[in-house]
Amino acid sequence: MELRHLRYFVAVAEELSFTRAAQRLHIGQPPLSQQIQALEAQVGARLLERSKRWVRLTEAGKLFLDDARRVLALSEQAVETARRAQRGEAGELRIGFTFSTPFTPLFATVINRYRQRYPGVTLTLHEMATLPQIEALPARTLDLGFVRPPEVAVLDAVRMTTLREDPLLLVLPVGHPLAQREVVAARELQGLPFVMYPPTAGTGIYHQILRLCRAAGFEPQVAMEAGEVSSIIGLVAAGCGISILPGSFNSIQLEGVCYRALAEPEATTTLLLAQRKDETSPLVEAFVALALAAAQEEQGRA
């Protein structure tokens, strides 16, 4: 049974005339009659009663008409869904983001705009460190990733696009002597206890702190490690040490903590959008285009 057989039957059932149905379908009346007979033979039931003057639906035909209409509607829906997916308007996008990303206004702007512009696309968001995201892209368990610069070489299968630069900020207890300063040089942190992500966390910030301290002539003295940024800031507030974090985290105004600028020009971190190099999905292309446009707008306002 083909969809055209259902269309032919629905036209005859709605017109109750082979002549009018043939005109509506733009086919000849004899071929239409033959197709309806073939359909009845395949179904194994008489669907229409006809004479030279009238056409009527049988009880089987009335029930068959309801299902035929549903099948045709579903087929049209399937075609439209496929077309919308081809235009990047339907489907699912799996997007990773680092712990600091939601604190950047750009992230909220991009996600909100995309949801409004493409309501038929399901966004599945996963909080992940940079390295797991980069590994997940070629494995096709993620489609896109908001990441920070990784310490390891990026896989050949992954493309990185710069979205924005963020300063690295010094996180201090409010009672710390350095908290009286607006800007602090990295060399002044020598000998102070640090609260940091563990080296196995897969975050680029760990290695950025190491490079910054080594360039200032010392190794950071790690007093405590924590895998969550809220824990790091909370430990700083408790006087367990100092830390360095992306500037987007200064929106976490925890009592007992303050943020200060670092003097070094290289004390910055980049927010990148990672994707597969061989990506052809219209959904991904649409998201990347929207993210780049939002990033350019943000730079224009800066």
Q: Flag whether the pTM goes above 0.85.
A: no
Instruction: Give the pLDDT band of residue 88 (cuts 50, 70, 90).
Output: low
Give residue 90's pLDDT band: very low, low, confident or very high (50, 70, 90).
low
What domains does the chain contain, in order, with CATH numbers?
Answer: 3-87 (1.10.10.10), 91-163+270-300 (3.40.190.10), 167-268 (3.40.190.10)
Could you give the CA distance from residue 94 to residue 113 in angstroms, rounded to a whole number?
16
Q: Cite the DSSP H helix spans in the chain.
A: 3-15, 18-25, 29-43, 59-86, 105-117, 130-136, 204-215, 229-237, 282-301
Half-sphere exposure of 66 (CA within 13 A, CB side): 5
Tell me whether strands 121-127 and 55-57 are parallel, antiparallel or unpaired. unpaired
267 contacts 146 by C-beta, under 8 angstroms: no
Cα 144 to Cα 116: distance, rounded to the nearest angstrom: 19
Integer angstrom CA distances of residue 136 from 29, 55, 152, 251: 59, 61, 15, 29
Q: At what angle do helices 18-25 and 29-43 cross, to 10 degrees?
A: 100
Q: What is the dihedral of CA 234, 240, 243, 246, to 10 degrees?
A: 0
- Residue 214 CB neighbour total at 10 angstroms: 12
Query: Phi and psi for 267 in degrees, rounded to 5?
Result: -80, 65
pLDDT, residue 223, reads 95
Give the integer Cα–Cα distance in Å for 9 and 42. 13
Asked if 104 contacts 248 with a C-beta cutoff of 8 angstroms, the reply is: yes
| Contact call for residues 56 and 16 (beta carbons, < 8 A) | yes
DSSP assignment letter at 242: B
Residue 78 pLDDT > 90, yes or no? no
Q: How far apart are CA 107 and CA 295, in angstroms?
A: 9
Residues ≥6 apart with Cβ < 8 Å to 153: none
Is 185:266 a contact under the CB 8 Å cutoff? no
Q: Give per-residue pLDDT as tens, 258-287.
A: 999 999 999 998 899 999 998 888 899 999
| 179 DSSP assignment | G
Convert the pLDDT of each residue in 164-204 to its tens digit. Answer: 998 999 999 999 999 999 999 999 999 999 999 888 776 77
At 109, list the tokens: 């702007």
For residue 116, pLDDT over 80 is answered with yes
CA distance 232 to 234: 5
Token pair of 219 as six digits: 């190794």
